[in-house]
Structure 1
Amino acid sequence: MKQNLFVYNTLTRTKEEFKPLNAPHVGMYVCGPTVYSDAHLGNCRTYISFDLIFRYLTLLGYKVRYVRNITDAGHLEGDADEGEDKISKKAKLSQLEPMEIVQKYTVGFRDVMKILNTLPPSIEPTATGHIIEQIEMVKEILAKGLAYEVNGSVYFDVEKYNQAQDYGILNGRHLEDLLTNTRTLGGQDEKRGKLDFALWIKAKPEHLMQWPSQWGMGFPGWHLECSAMSSKYLGHQFDIHGGGIDLMPTHHTNEIAQNVASCGKNPATYWMHTNMLTVNGTKMSKSLGNSFLPDELFTGNNSILNKPYSPMTVRFFMLQTHYRSTLDFSNDAMEASEKGFRRLMNAYELLDGLKASADTDVDVSAVQTRCYEAMNDDFNSPVLIAELFELSRVVNSVHDGKMQIDATNLELLKQTMHTFIEDVLGLKDEKAANDELPKVMEFIINLRSEAKTNKDYATSDKIRIGLQDIGFQLKDSKEGTTWNKV
């Protein structure tokens, strides 16, 4: 196992050496999607980032229990304990049962994750499947005197909690600052304090998703589900809690408060957050007309897009930026990623055809070490990709006869590229996924070879130029002719 992995911890705002509570076992909880609409690119960026983390920890030899929930209840329109449940609203508009909406978008989300080659989590629990656990947690917080019940709803008392704990520990803000920047409670509001949030909400008769409790019919608050499910499957304390940076100020802050109030412990050692996605430097937003869905990106069916981009190009594009940095989408950036991905995979395809020499001009172990160092530095995928391009240069040079490599270094080259391209970055050759294309290209190359043998150079050149015009490049060498998509 490679040691000295360092991760950035939002809780302490420092980069720390990763020390699991019960090595080699690692518990990781990532806030999953609310399944009332199609997955958006921000979701995809977050889950690709944590897929990278899951893959690398597994490579290091850790036994990772990766829990990613499905939010299928309690997520209100304004995320402020008011308004209508998003899934119920969608169900009414569509004249469907709420769980039909849940099923449709859960399947759609999983399909997109599979297309983007993310590994499934170890456990994928749902909020509706853990109502009992959530009710029990509310009872525990009430028993500690840190919540109160009003007319069938239960609220968390933030100011009372803050007397003994630091409510703003995750975002580094004092309670006084948070209170100053929070709206004044209306005369009809049941909450005692401006920052108090719902643990359990009394359901109106027309509310579609409600359950019985000792406080009456109702449904859980959005923040409660993650506290209950992470505790159930990972214990009161575990290693990593992750999600998008938009969840940090409220959702994750409230999760910590709930967990500490119920059991006296901050749930996670390391809090990790992915940054936002922008489009041409502007925040992605439906209201600005600059948003698009993954399927639109794959098909090109959106006016923002110049062309469609393959799933692996999208994954490669996202991994070229560090997970904590803002990821800015543009057609130019996507086209550059498309070319970079093809260049990397073209070199990867040449590996099996390389021949070892008695001498060597390259020390692959040095580059392999730098690959591990990049990932050990808070999962720095952009630096890792730069090192893989250095190995691609070696592959091309050996293939073209400009560099020699001995058997030991050749085997290490194959091992390193396979490990970091497939096992860690989760990239796969989309060209190989089309079983017919290699056969067609082999047939065309053979036709061209026959033309050259017959000294029909006009036909040979016509085939080569014609393929180049539609995006396929032929490369002749003493071992034969190879092809790649450009």
Structure 2
Amino acid sequence: MNTGLQLYNTLTRKKEPFEPLHAPNVGMYVCGPTVYSDVHLGNCRTFISFDLIFRYLKYAGYKVRYVRNITDAGHLEGDRDEGDDKFAKRAKLEQLEPMEIVQKYTIGFHDVMRMFNTLPPSIEPTATGHICEQIEMIKEIMDNGYAYEVGGTVYFDVDKYSKEYNYTILTNRNLEDMLANTRELGGQDEKHGRLDFALWIKAKPETLMQWPSPWGWGFPGWHIECSAMSSKYLGAEFDIHGGGMDLAATHHTNEIAQSEACSHKQPARYWMHTNMLTVNGARMSKSAGNGFLPGELFTGDHPLLEKGYSPMTVKFFMLQAHYRSTLDFSNEALDASEKGFRRLMSAMGLLDKLHASEGTDDFDIDAIRENCIRAMNDDFNSPVVIAELFEATRVINSVYDGKAKLSAAGLEKLKVLMHDFVSDIFGLKDEESSNVELNSVLDLMIDIRRSAKENKDYATSDKIRIGLQGIGIQLKDSKEGTTWNKI
């Protein structure tokens, strides 16, 4: 199966033809959320991006098994197995059991993903549901000589692994520089090497989440869960592994090491990473005070926001940037995306009101579709697709206004094009069309205005039009009737 799809592979740092191991079957693993707090926008961008990839692969004819994990255990404050357990810390703060924290924030994450109209993954495994698999993988790594136990904690031996494999293959970092930038071993440090990381961590007596293992009671390190679950559901080798770019340096680097130490195989053929978010040019972070939660962005309840923006507006805003590009949030950029999204949805609403004409088409719909497919095949270049969709929007408005013609065949191609890319691939939907009360009121106002015009009561007609425009509703008259859209 050859779709002409090219993916940027972080592993090789170049675009490569997509050649699945077992086409048309595709295995895709994406690192999911750590559910001890509300999902942040960086997470949302990653999952919206991979939802786009999931949707397009299915559209292209692949049968995709999309696995996205839930991290609900084994996550300490630092990447190097230091600090407090984040779940226990949150549980104590909110005076709840750790699994109540897990349930609370997992439900919240799913609610946000539904608001963004993302598809659920094929499988959504949890770390706590796969403790046995993680233990078995650790045992295999130890048997292969790449891990060691110290007092009930099992560490991965990076130095031993690096003698046989390239530990920094994903980031191309210099191993000596990494060692130089890592803290010196203290007298109480039990690791053999400064870059060694924990596969299993001995539990303290007060640890809330712990399980029995061959090394005593404890809990898994953060990195081992993804290696164990990806291999369980996708095999030792699979097609795509994804996540945010912040995961590449430590989490994904250690995933590759664990998997190779266990199976002697590089786990994923293509590694894909989404870029970071900025706000007015500065990196988005809670500590800087410029980090938005999705709910704050929707309501506008944040000092840096002038108003709230709907989930579909935010999603459209994210899709206007390539997933590997930095995405900068500002009120001006969100306002522009809101107008663009409304324009697109207004055109979608006109599709069923268009009438076919006899003769030659004034627009080449096939060319627009080919441009959209070419852009998606170029590492999922959504901004270029959106530009083509605005060209299709111009076609829709021209045909609706009677300024251009499309045959029945051309009109059907246009409808299929918009449905395929706007609804099925981008997952965008008209939020206003689901507001039954608003639609009913506007239909009534349009009917009153029509009657006023028929009775030559132009004062009332203009009053309705101007009044609606004042609250952000624009009426558009044509020979087919009157439509409305938000401005």
TM-score class normalised by the smaller sequence: over 0.9
CA contact (8 A) 1:73 1:87 kept: yes
Checking the alignment, whether the CA contact within 8 Å between 2:79 and 2:250 is kept in structure 1 is: no
1:431 deviation in Å? 1.0
1:361 touches 1:404 (CA, 8 Å); kept in 2?
yes
Question: Which sits farther off after the overlay, 402-411 or 197-206?
Answer: 402-411
Deviates more, 1:378-387 or 1:184-193: 184-193
SS at 1:200's partner residue? strand
Where in structure 2 are the equivalents of 1:306-345 lying within 5 Å? 306-345=306-345
The alpha-carbon deviation at position 383 of structure 1 amounts to 0.3
Structure 1 residue 483: Cα displacement:
1.0
**SS of the counterpart of 2:67?**
strand
Q: Over aligned residue pairs, what C-alpha RMSD do you find?
A: 0.8
Gaps of 5+ in 1: none
CA distance in 2, matches of 1:292, 1:310: 14
Specify the alignment match of 1:150 in structure 2: 150
Whole-angstrom CA distance in 1 between matches of 2:431 and 2:64: 28
Q: Map residues 16-415 of structure 1 onto 2, 5 A cutoff.
A: 16-359=16-359, 360-415=361-416
How many Å apart are 1:2 and its aligned residue?
6.8
Q: 1:261: Cα distance to partner?
A: 0.1
CA contact (8 A) 2:46 2:244 kept: yes
Q: Distance in 2 between matches of 1:378 and 1:477?
A: 40
**8 Å contact 2:356–2:405 — kept in the other structure?**
yes
Q: Which amino acid aligns with 2:223?
A: H
Q: Contact 1:2–1:60 (CA<8 Å) still a contact in 2?
A: no
Q: Deviations over 1:130-151 (max 9, x none)?
A: 0000000110011011111001
Give the gaps of 5 or more residues in structure 2.
none
Q: Please identify, of 438-447 and 242-251, the stretch whose mean Cα deviation from structure 2 is larger.
A: 438-447
3-state DSSP of counterpart to 2:117? coil
1:55-75 deviation line (CA, Å, top 9, x unaligned) = 000001111000000000010
Name the CA distance, whole Å, in 2 between partners of 1:33 and 1:466. Answer: 45
How far apart are the structure 2 equivalents of 1:286 and 1:416? 40
User: Number of paired residues?
Assistant: 486
CA distance in structure 2 between the partners assigned to 1:387 and 1:186 by the alignment: 59
Which residue is 1:480 aligned to? 481
Q: Matches of 2:118 and 2:185 in 1, distance apart?
A: 43
For 2:115 and 2:434, locate their aligned partners in 1 and report how far apart those are by CA, in whole Å. 12
Structure 1 segments (4+ residues) deviating >3 Å? none
Scaled by the length of structure 2, the TM-score of the pair is 0.99
Contact 2:25 2:64 in 1 (8 A): yes
1:174 Cα offset (Å):
2.8
Residue type of the alignment partner of 1:73: A
Question: Higher mean Cα deviation, 470-479 or 256-265?
Answer: 470-479
Contact 1:223/1:254 (<8 A) preserved: yes
1:397 is displaced (CA, Å) by: 0.7
Rounded Cα–Cα distance in structure 2 between residues aligned with 1:404 and 1:418 = 20
**Alpha-carbon displacement from aligned partner over 1:308-351 (angstroms, at most 9, x marks no partner):** 10000000000000000001100100000000000111111111
| 1:146/1:261 contact within 8 Å kept | yes
Equivalent position of 2:461 in the other structure: 460
Report how far residue 177 of structure 1 moved: 2.2
C-alpha separation between the residues in 2 aligned to 1:422 and 1:337? 17
Quote the offset at 1:203 in angstroms.
0.5
Q: Distance in 2 between matches of 1:485 and 1:287?
A: 36
Instruction: State the alpha-carbon separation in 2 of the partners of residues 104 and 198 from structure 1.
Output: 28
Using the alignment, how far apart are the partners of 1:93 and 1:288 within structure 2?
A: 23
